[in-house]
Amino acid sequence: MTTLKTLAAVLAIAAAPIAFAAGAMDGMDMKAPASSSKASHPVPAEIRKIDAQAGKVTLKHGPIENLGMPAMTMAFPVKDRASLSRFKEGDAVLVTFGKIGGSPTVLEMQRK
Ligand SMILES: [Cu+2]
């Protein structure tokens, strides 16, 4: 049972980028809700540093399509800074990025 649940979770995560790509080809503007037109599917990243005080996380991230950013290591503000307590340096994560006040921001982060 545990194995099946894990498999289902892995499949759900793996299917998300495919669903996004299909949606993009169908016409992203028509389907995207107005409030999250800049949201993307999760990007793989590794946590290099956490600054809970400042609400920032330094990530070695893959290409972020919706921000037009190539892979690099940089610090981001985190929308839900309390969520940083669930993570530690070295964690492999999947991150949803967006812009808040014009700045690239971590909207959501989960452990891989
Ligand atoms: Cu970057």
pTM above 0.85, yes or no: no
Structural domain contains residue 93: yes
Structural domain contains residue 22: no
- Which CATH number does the domain housing residue 87 bear? 2.40.50.320
Q: How many Å apart are CA 95 and CA 30, to the nearest integer? A: 24
Structural domain contains residue 80: yes
Residue 1 half-sphere exposure toward CB, CA atoms < 13 A: 0
Structural domain contains residue 18: no
CA of 105 to the centre of ligand 1 (A): 10
pLDDT in tens, 46-91: 999 999 999 999 999 999 999 999 999 999 999 999 999 999 999 9
Structural domain contains residue 6: no
Structural domain contains residue 40: yes
CA of 3 to the centre of ligand 1 (A): 35
**SS3 assignment, position 108:** strand
Q: How many Å apart are CA 3 and CA 94, to the nearest integer? A: 21
CA of 104 to the centre of ligand 1 (A): 8
Domain that includes residue 52, residue range: 34-111
- Structurally, the chain folds into a number of domains equal to 1
Structural domain contains residue 41: yes
Contact 109, 83 (CB under 8 A): yes
